[in-house]
Structure 1
Amino acid sequence: MAQKAQKTQAARNSATLNRTHLISLGVYFFFILLRTLFFTRRLLPFLMFAAPAMFIEFWFERIGRPTYTETANGKELKRAGEDLEAKGLTEWMWDVLYWTWGCTVLAALLGNRAWWLYAGVPLYSGYLAFTTYSGMRQGFAGPSGGNGGESGGASGGQSKRQAKMEKRGGPRVQYRQ
């Protein structure tokens, strides 16, 4: 069972990509069907807002689809593809893709004003950037967290555990200077 982890990731990536393409096809077909048969929806906003999702799908296909080589024993895994469940940018791209699908369905059902919900993407991106920046700023403050050398509210450079032990009357710890 050589490369079991890579084979598992390749199977998971293939299934995820196939499911993503089917859902995307269904959502876009639903929009086009309702637009043509029942309502008059503008096509330009659909094309503008679906373009990032289509680019993201193309990107996932490019980096995540496993590749195989033909050998005498049959197909052999050449590359498993990148992990499509990774944190960070990949996770954000999945969020944009899901949000686009939701906005597309709502625009098909409720009308062209539903495209204004797509403004949530830059707002969400700004929120993520702010929380990332805040976390980095706290990380650069050092282990004290920027609160003047006190560690977690304990006084005198003690850890919380040592402060609790002294408060209970347990063995006192003496520090050398």
Structure 2
Amino acid sequence: MAQKATKTLASRNTARLNTTLYLTLAVHFFYWLLRALLFRSSFTRKSLVLYALLCAPQLLIQFFIFERSGRPTYGPDGQVKRSGEDLDAKGLTEYMWDVTYWTYGVLVLAAVVGDWAWWWMAVVPAYSAWLAYTTFAGVRQGYADAAGVPHPQPASKRQQKMEKRGGQKVQYR
């Protein structure tokens, strides 16, 4: 059972990356199939430019970030050399999964209802800007009151008691 966590992470990453690859191929094929067969009249240069421009972030994330950092590598003997980064990590990885899934939704919507659905891609940068603003405002508010005057953090009860007794005293032996 050597390196059980590494093997588990490697198998989980491989399964998730394979599922994502098949889902990406299916969603993009669905878009092109509907555009080529049912909505041939709206299959224009503008449509191609919108597709290329707005699907590029998802494709770059999947093929250049997730595949390179998350795909495990194996040695010649079949042992896991590197399990890859955890694809379930919080923070930026979670945001990149959101971009991937949002692109799938908008792509299906654009395939079914038309080019106006590409406007839904504006939600991602707008949401990012809103998160950045609220984070900045929250941090700024944490350091200052409504008038902009900084206020010190209240001391804990233990700190207050120690200050009452004359502060922390160091004993030398």
TM range (shorter): 0.7 to 0.9
C-alpha distance in 1 between matches for 2:38 and 2:66: 33
Residues 158 and 90 from structure 1, CA distance in 2 versus in 1: closer, same or farther, beyond 3 angstroms?
closer
**Partner of residue 176, structure 1:** 165
DSSP-derived class of the 1:70 partner: coil
Q: Please state if 1:66 is matched with 2:50.
A: no
State the shift of 1:176 in Å: 3.0
Separation in 2 of the partners of 1:158 and 1:10?
A: 45
Mapped to 1, the partners of 2:87 and 2:141 lie a distance apart of: 29
Which of 38, 48, 51 is 1:43 aligned to?
Answer: 48
Unaligned stretches of 5+ in structure 1?
A: 152-156, 160-173
**Counterpart Cα distance in 1 of 2:124 and 2:105:** 12
Output the TM-score relative to the length of structure 2. 0.78
After the TM superposition, list the runs of 4 or more consecutive aligned residues in structure 1 that deviate by more than 6 angstroms: none
Go from structure 1 to structure 2 and tell me whether the alpha carbon gap of 1:158 and 1:79 turns closer, same or farther (over 3 Å shift): closer
Whether 2:87 is the aligned partner of 1:81: answer no
2:160 alignment counterpart: none
State the alpha-carbon separation in 2 of the partners of residues 8 and 132 from structure 1: 35
**Which has more helix, going by share of residues?**
2
Shift of 1:110: 0.9
Give the partner amino acid of 2:13: N
- What percentage of residue pairs aligned between the two structures are identical? 52
Q: Which amino acid aligns with 2:22?
A: L
Residues 2-29 of structure 1: per-residue CA shift (max 9 Å, x gap):
1111111101100110111111111101
In the TM superposition, residue 89 of structure 1 has moved relative to its aligned partner by: 1.2
1:86 is displaced (CA, Å) by 1.2
Question: What one-letter code is carried by the residue in structure 2 that aligns with 1:14?
Answer: T
Cα separation, 2, equivalents of 1:104 and 1:78: 36
Correspondence for 1:128: 131
- 1:158 is displaced (CA, Å) by 5.6
Residue from 49, 56, 62 that aligns with 1:57: 62
TM-score normalized by structure 1?
Answer: 0.77
Superposition CA RMSD, Å: 2.6
Q: Which residue of 2 aligns with 1:13?
A: 13
Paired residue total: 154
Q: Which runs of 5+ in 2 are unaligned?
A: 158-162, 167-173
SS of residue matched to 1:83: coil
